[in-house]
Amino acid sequence: MGDDMSDLHEPILRWYDEHARDLPWRGPGATPWAVMVSEFMLQQTPVARVLPVFESWMSTWPTPAALAGSPSGEAVRAWGRLGYPRRALRLHAAALAIVERHAGEVPASYDDLIALPGVGDYTASAIASFAFGGRHAVLDTNVRRVFARAVAGGEFPAPAVTKAERVLAESLVPEEQPATWAVAVMELGALVCTAANPSCPQCPIQDQCAWNTSGRPAYDGPPRRGQAWAGTDRMVRGRLMAVLRDAEGSVSRDRLEAAWSEPVQRERALKSLIADGLLVETAGDRYALPG
Ligand code: SF4
């Protein structure tokens, strides 16, 4: 890349201006609550799967108070097939806290946001930036990958965020349009600088990118975590949750046994769902979403 890291700003911001997807949680019409809901949903789920659930969620619960007024089990049901359904419980708990502590308004400051249940550094930075225009380094997997390649010159970032990465990301936040910068780098990572097949010839910073200009050397860091799914406990949990979401009220144990016949893994999944508060055992060996 060039001598001055701010060389990245102009081409990335211009590229975003031309290529940004029109998403309902972006733009002037999106409320801070819409931004918050989208950030919870997008944490581990791609945009295409999030869109329909987001739309119906926002029409059911257009404010934190609306969600806080519904049982947490309804939030889990509406989460549908987004996966990692503990996020639904956390979002519900965050809505309750927003009602109690902030009179039902999503707070604007990073410190108030990170104090909410289920909100970590990434989500607090993203909401403070995207909803309120704050000046924060927003380090999601897409942003981390772009900086790892463009600036650090490796194919992938470290498994977890490092101090050096944070310092670098903070130093790159521009004085003007900090929120647009955050979303623009994220979008570049999602659409062009993808994990498996980055489209370097289409990239606005191809001539400055350290990894590209050094011939895209092969990754030689620590093993990367995969997202294995088939046959995993997470898949079994998903099957059991689907039975509960589709049921009116509680279901018998037989229904869960039919969803996954292997007993050891099924029981382990069932216990973990109960421990996570996603399912409750009711009378007569029956199971239900939380009340
Ligand atoms: S040139 Fe390639 S590797 Fe570098 S930032 Fe662009 S898409 Fe990513």
Class of domain 31-130: mainly alpha
Tell me, rounded to whole angstroms, the distance of Cα 167 from its chain centroid. 22
Stretch 150-154: mean pLDDT: 94
Q: Which of 203, 213, 216, 219 has the most ligand 1 atoms within 8 A of CB, as the residue to mutate?
A: 203
For position 185, what pLDDT does the model report? Answer: 97
| Boundaries of every domain in the chain | 1-19+135-227, 31-130, 233-288
Catalytic positions are: 39
With bands split at pLDDT 50, 70 and 90, how would you rate the model's confidence at 222? Answer: confident
Contacts of 48 (CB under 8 A, 6+ apart): none
The model's pLDDT over 226-241, given as tens digits with 9 standing for 90+, comes to 656 677 888 899 999 9
According to CATH, what is the number of the domain 1-19+135-227?
Answer: 1.10.1670.10
Give the model confidence (pLDDT) of 267-281 as tens digits: 999 999 999 999 999
> How many CB atoms are closer than 10 A to CB 288?
15
To test the pocket of ligand 1, the residue of 8, 206, 216 to mutate (highest count of ligand atoms within 8 Å of its CB) is: 206
Q: Whose CA is nearest to atom 8 of ligand 1?
A: 193
What are the CA-CA distances from residue 168 to residues 11, 88, 97, 151, 172 (Å)?
18, 32, 33, 9, 6
The residue whose CA is least distant from atom 1 of ligand 1 is 206
Q: Ligand 1: which atom is nearest the Cα of residue 209? A: 4
Q: Which atom of ligand 1 is nearest to the CA of 146?
A: 5
Domain 233-288 has CATH 3.30.460: no
Give residues with Cβ within 8 angstroms of 101, minimum separation 6.
Answer: 107, 112
Mean pLDDT over 85-101 rounds to 97
* Whether the predicted pLDDT of 129 surpasses 70: yes
Cα four-point dihedral sign 178, 179, 182, 187: negative
**Both tokens assigned to 98:** 């927003």
Which residues 6+ apart lie within 8 Å of 273 measured at CB? 237, 240, 241, 279
246-260 core/surface letters (b: 16 or more CB in 10 A; e: else): eeeebbeeebbeebb
| DSSP state for residue 115 in the 8-state scheme | T
Residues with CB under 6 A from ligand 1: 146, 149-150, 192-193, 198-200, 203, 205-206, 209, 211-212
Nearest 5 degrees, angle CA 44-CA 45-CA 49? Answer: 170
